[in-house]
């Protein structure tokens, strides 16, 4: 563990994307730390750079994205110094990610059980039979009924809410130290959203997992996050304890975000 007791420390991170007319700054000099077992939220409108930060942490930026400065230290390890082979041992095992669109994250030609089992076999070295048995146990943990039947179904046969539960099961199968949840309920209705968030944060508490929550909704931040950083146009405009930031924002952009959900924030 780092001496400053942070499971993740991002310092002066900058990311550019190449474009026809030159480089575009997507993230500029972003710094934040996540304490073990806590929930840290990145909040801001679409396009402000939140997802780019998540992909940079996992080193999953596409060919057009490039980290141009900064450091990313995870559990005392400099992620930007690792060879890809070493990064693969961390990605999905010690750091997992839940993506915005669950349906797009699954291969349509394989059953959900085989896709959960594949992750278990990759990171835990188990055989397929044992990995499938573990898959059933994981689906029980995320409150899916009849998991023995569900593992034999294909992604298109499940609802969006159920697919998101399966994705949470995959993300937690290796008991990661850090979970990145990128707009985990953006494609779900309000009732399903509440259930998914309750599940996610119950499991976080049970497993003592640190969470980086990415959202555009300050209401979710108020209910779920210990700390928050507000992003605008690729930079953090203010950050701190959630209650302090949302009750007494010092930045006009933060105030505008809060005003958009007036009456929906409980502090």
How do residues 35-87 score in pLDDT, each as one tens digit? Answer: 999 999 999 999 999 999 999 999 999 878 999 999 999 999 999 999 999 99
Is residue 72 a part of any domain in this protein?
yes
Tens digit of pLDDT for each residue in 164-208? 899 999 998 888 999 999 998 877 788 888 888 899 999 999 999
- State the pTM of this model: 0.91
pLDDT at residue number 1:
43
Say whether pLDDT at 105 is over 50.
yes
Q: What is the DSSP letter of 152?
A: T
Q: Cα angle vertex 26, ends 21, 27, to 5°? A: 145
Domain boundary among 158, 173, 188: 173
Whether 199 and 73 share a structural domain: yes
Q: What is the DSSP letter of 103?
A: G
Beta-sheet strand order (sheet of 77-78): 22-34, 8-19, 65-74, 77-78
Q: What domain range includes position 198?
A: 8-94+178-260
Other CB atoms within a 10 A radius of the CB of residue 44 amount to 25
Whether 168 and 188 share a structural domain: no
Give the number of domains in the chain: 2
Domain boundary among 143, 173, 203: 173
Q: What is the DSSP letter of 157?
A: G
């Amino acid at each position: 563990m780092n001496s400053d007791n942070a499971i993740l420390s991002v310092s002066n991170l900058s990311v550019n994307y190449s474009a026809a007319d030159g480089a575009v700054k997507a993230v500029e000099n972003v710094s934040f730390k996540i304490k073990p077992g806590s929930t840290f939220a990145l909040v801001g409108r679409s396009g402000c750079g939140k997802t780019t930060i998540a992909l940079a942490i996992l080193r999953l930026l596409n060919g057009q994205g490039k980290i141009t400065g900064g450091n990313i230290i995870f559990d005392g390890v400099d992620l930007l110094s690792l060879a890809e082979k070493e990064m693969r041992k961390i990605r999905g095992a010690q750091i997992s990610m839940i993506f915005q669109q669950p349906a797009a994250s699954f291969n349509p030609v394989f059953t959900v059980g085989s896709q959960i089992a594949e992750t278990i076999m990759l990171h835990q070295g188990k055989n397929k039979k044992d990995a499938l048995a573990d898959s059933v146990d994981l689906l029980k943990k995320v409150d899916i009924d009849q998991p023995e039947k569900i593992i034999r179904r294909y992604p298109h046969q499940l609802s969006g809410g159920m697919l998101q539960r399966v994705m949470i099961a995959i993300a937690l199968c290796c008991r990661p130290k850090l979970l990145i949840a990128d707009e985990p309920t953006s494609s779900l209705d309000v009732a399903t959203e509440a259930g998914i968030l309750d599940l996610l944060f119950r499991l976080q508490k049970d497993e003592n997992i640190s969470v980086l929550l990415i959202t555009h909704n300050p209401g979710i931040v108020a209910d779920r996050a210990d700390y928050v950083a507000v992003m605008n146009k690729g930079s953090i405009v203010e950050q701190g304890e959630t209650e302090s930031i949302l009750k007494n924002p010092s930045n006009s952009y933060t105030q505008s975000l809060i005003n958009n959900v007036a009456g929906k924030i409980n502090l």
